[in-house]
Amino acid sequence: MQACLLRSRNCIVGETEAGYQVTRGLLDEYTSLRILAVDCFISCESCPEAKGLAFEEIPIDILSGEQFKPGYAAVNAERVMPTLIHGGHSVFQSLAIIEYLDDIQPSPRLIPEDAKERAYARSLGLMTIADAHPLVTPRVRNHLAKMFGADAKAIEAWGKHWTTEGLATYERLLARRAPAPFALGTDPGLADICIAGQVVSAHFLKLELSAFPMVSRLADRCFEMPAFAISHPFEQPGFKTASAH
């Protein structure tokens, strides 16, 4: 069965749209988490069934408004990224995509099997998904500029504030239950993907991570793995192309 993941094209540098140069890289931070999940899903050698899922990535240029064209709006009524199309169905919202992948192919698991552990993994993941990340999306930055006249510096400060809040919360939680070596135990999963995503936001914003040693070590451990490393937005073709100009 053919699967497509529609994601935003990574474009980090843009001189023409004042106000967004600094934080524009965050556009793809969240999307990369999904790519990461899909990478985990389709690249695992121990899951032969998973290899039956052909996977095509389709970049959508959200800076030029491609998501508002009828072609994309037809598959995602919210006109946001990403969308996973599988078996003719659109799955939108990042966590729904990860949960769907775990539901149709439980191995390797991104969410553990035990109910309490599942709850902990989702609790950790949702701190990025439902608290920190929604506040730094392009549409929010655009609206801050429109409504409050926020300039690039103010938008950067806004992003730093919420990203730091997220990192601090994760640090407090990891101090209570230390990664061993990943957040839930021996294998990386949803929680690690989301914690690494917070660190990607910090990378974009050039935040100092020394106040968050446990978070930082966990992210380092993640990015040592190919599935995480190749999914870092800085490693995406769109980012490299933009950086070269």
Sign of CA dihedral 183, 206, 21, 162: positive
Binding test (CB under 8 A) with its own copies, winner from 51, 69, 143, 153: 143
Q: How far apart are CA 12 and CA 243, in angstroms?
A: 7
| Of the residues 123, 220, 240, 243, which one makes contact with its own copies according to CB under 8 A | 123
Q: Does 133 bind its own copies (CB under 8 A)?
A: yes
Report if residue 12 touches its own copies, rule: CB under 8 A: no
Query: Could you say whether residue 33 binds its own copies (CB under 8 A)?
Result: no
Judge contact between 164 and 208, C-beta under 8 A: no
- 96 near its own copies, judged by CB under 8 A: yes
Alpha-helical (H) ranges within the chain are 27-43, 70-73, 94-104, 115-126, 138-148, 152-176, 190-204, 213-223, 226-229, 237-244
Alpha carbon distance 230, 38 (integer Å)? 12
Element (H, E) at 3: strand 3-8
- Shortest distance in whole angstroms from residue 242 CB to its own copies: 26
Residue 91 binding its own copies, by CB under 8 A = yes
User: Exposed, middle or buried: residue 192 (CB in 10 Å: 0-12, 13-18, 19+)?
Assistant: buried
Residue 97 binds its own copies, judged by CB under 8 A: yes
The answer to whether residue 62 forms part of the interface with its own copies (CB under 8 A) is: no
Q: Indicate whether 206 belongs to the interface with its own copies (CB under 8 A).
A: no
With tokens 């609790």, the residue in question is 123
Distance CA 21, CA 19 (A): 6
Does the protein bind its own copies through residue 54 (CB under 8 A)? no
Closer by beta carbon to its own copies, 39 or else 171: 171
Q: Which is nearer to its own copies, 17 or 78 (CB)?
A: 78
Does 158 bind its own copies (CB under 8 A)? Our answer is yes
Binding residues vs its own copies (CB under 8 A): 77-78, 80, 87, 89, 91-97, 99-100, 103-104, 115-116, 118-120, 122-123, 126-127, 129-131, 133-135, 140, 143-144, 147-148, 150, 154, 157-158, 161, 169, 172-173, 176
